[in-house]
Amino acid sequence: MLTNEEERVRIYSMGDVPTRSHEVTPSTPLDELNLNWTEKDLPERERTKHVHRLHPYLGKYIPQLVEVFLRKYFSAGQTIIDPFCGSGTTLVQANELGINAIGYDISAFNVLLSRAKTAEYDVPAVQREILDILDKVKAATQIDSGQRRLWMECTKKPYLSADDNEYLERWFAPQALEELLTYRYYIEAGEYEYADLLQIILCRSARSARLTTHFDLDFPREPVTEPYYCYKHRKTCQPIREAFKFLKRYSNDTIKRITAFAAARTGARVEVYHEDCRTVDFPEAHGVVTSPPYVGLIDYHEQHAYAYHLLGLEDKRAKEIGPAANGKSKNAKEAYQKDIAEVFQRILRTMHPDGRLIVVANDQENLYGEIADSLDVEVENIIQRHVNRRTGRRSTRFYEAIFIWRKL
């Protein structure tokens, strides 16, 4: 049974058996790869297994695609680089296979998320910390309003003020903001070993607790303060007024996901750096597996604005490559090509001979041919795959290319 999108695309009715990522080996021929997985072939629970769904992230590629090329071109003990690590998909999958991974990103939130996903955890200790802070927030906020006011006055907690933060006051109802700021306070006031992970729970809850519609969590434009017709639930829904229910839900979900990944995690090294890769001196590595930002499509800092305001993260949006804010003009495309080529050229300087660059991109603007021409690489192959599962309410046909380049 095919989905509506799969019915529209001929490749799904051709009868080819989709590739099973765990069966790929270095000897698997590229022309035998079928990466056009249907929803039945690769259901959501597998695409978002364990920590891959620790926090929603717009524009990430699926772990099975990464696994295919890690198994094909790399082996345990080697080192790969992802200069645009985003939510950490490459880093997680490399670790599962015993491959050392080094990630870089210009977004402080992406670095925080990638580190939280790939850290080595004492699972019982993680559970204790997550439940401990949740109990503290519950005791402080889930009591009647009179008691809460008395508690706040007696303890004089300044953290319950939004510090005149226009963004937080605009995008969160008073109760939701109080609960989020209380959780933040306990992270800062406590001595939690896994504070990074607690910050991710806070941010994930904040994303869901914003004053926006249920169907526009990816692209909220204006706060919603009145009842609205919800396209997701096909009924009239109310704006979100509280955050604690999300803190509780995502606390339990995080425990499950961290526990699941702990069973798959290896001792392979993972390092994540908050850097502009146009200026980084990269270490030695055997190759690259990455999905660079697409020109003029996403503003990666703005996607997680709530995290920057809640946590006071360093904002380097001015250094994003190809942000949506810069558009798709000729100058924007040329700047994008120059920047992407600079990153790869810097990596190639210290890459092992014959190392591979595996680059996944939606190249609608036909920019990657010229990028490859400017590098010391041989284009071994370009594989096209249809992406039939999109984040948000987008239904246009979408393809991505996997560029396989070998260092000369």
Residues 104-144: tens digit of each pLDDT: 999 999 999 999 999 999 999 999 999 999 999 998 888 76
Phi–psi pair at 381, nearest 5 degrees = -165, 155
pLDDT at 166: 84
What integer pLDDT is reported at residue 152 of this predicted model? 56
**105 secondary structure, DSSP code:** E
Q: What share of the chain is helix, strand, coil (3-state, %, to 5)?
A: 45, 15, 40
Residue 356 has pLDDT above 70, yes or no: yes
pTM of the model as a whole = 0.91
pLDDT at 391: 44
Cβ burial, residue 145 (10 Å; 0-12/13-18/19+): exposed
Q: What is the C-alpha separation between 281 and 347, in angstroms, rounded?
A: 8
| Confidence band for 327, pLDDT divided at 50, 70 and 90 | very high
Query: What is the band of 380 on the pLDDT scale with cuts at 50, 70, 90?
Result: very high
Give CA–CA dist 117/351, Å, rounded: 26
pLDDT for the residue numbered 16: 74
The pair of structure tokens assigned to 200 is 């991710």
Average pLDDT over residues 14-20: 78
- Higher pLDDT residue, 296 or 388? 296
Q: With b meaning 16 or more CB within 10 Å and e meaning fewer, what string describes 214-251?
A: ebbbbebeeebeeebeeeeeeeebebbebbbebbbebb
State phi, psi for 12 to the nearest 5 degrees.
Answer: -80, -10
Q: For 33-48, how does the pLDDT look when each residue is reduced to its tens digit (9 = 90+)?
A: 999 998 888 888 999 9
Cα separation, 178 vs 358, whole angstroms = 45
Residue 258 phi, psi (nearest 5): -65, -40
Distance of CA 157 to the CA centre of its chain: 33
In whole angstroms, give the CA distance from residue 150 to residue 161: 16
Please list, residue by residue across 296-318, b when 16 or more beta carbons sit within 10 angstroms of its beta carbon and e when fewer do.
bebbbbebbbbbbbbbebeebee
Sign of the CA dihedral running 21, 25, 30, 32: negative
Residue 96: predicted pLDDT: 98
Average pLDDT, the chain: 90
Tens-digit pLDDT profile for residues 266-283: 999 999 999 999 999 999
Q: Is 98 left (phi over 0), alpha (psi -120 to 50) or beta?
A: left
The tokens for 65 are 């695609």
Rg for the chain (alpha carbons), in Å?
Answer: 22
**DSSP conformation class of 289:** E
**d(Cα 262, Cα 255) in Å, to the nearest integer?**
11
pLDDT in tens, 85-99: 999 999 999 999 999
Average pLDDT over residues 342-366: 96
The predicted structure's pLDDT at residue 198: 98
pLDDT in tens, 205-225: 999 999 998 888 888 889 999
Residue 151 confidence (pLDDT) above 80: no
Comparing 1 with 231, the larger pLDDT belongs to 231
Q: For residues 133 and 144, give the distance between their C-alpha atoms in angstroms, rounded to a whole number.
A: 20
Give the pLDDT band of residue 354 (cuts 50, 70, 90).
very high
Q: How many helices (H) and strands (E) does the chain have?
A: 15, 9
Give the pLDDT confidence score for residue 153 in this predicted structure: 52
Q: Tell me the C-alpha distance between 67 and 24, whole Å.
A: 8
Confidence band for 162, pLDDT divided at 50, 70 and 90: very low
Q: pLDDT-derived band of residue 348, with 50, 70 and 90 as boundaries?
A: very high
- Residue 407, pLDDT > 90, answer yes
Burial status of residue 373 (CB atoms within 10 A of its CB: 0-12, 13-18, 19 or more):
exposed
Residues present in the chain in total? 408
Selected residue with higher pLDDT from 15 and 133:
133
- Tell me, what's the pLDDT at 156? 45
Percent of the chain with pLDDT over 70: 88
CA–CA dist 141, 71 (Å, integer): 49
Check pLDDT > 90 for residue 1.
Answer: no
What pLDDT is attached to residue 165?
80
- More confidently predicted of 144 and 80: 80
Alpha carbon distance 274, 205 (integer Å): 24
Q: Report the distance separating Cα 76 and Cα 98, nearest Å.
A: 5
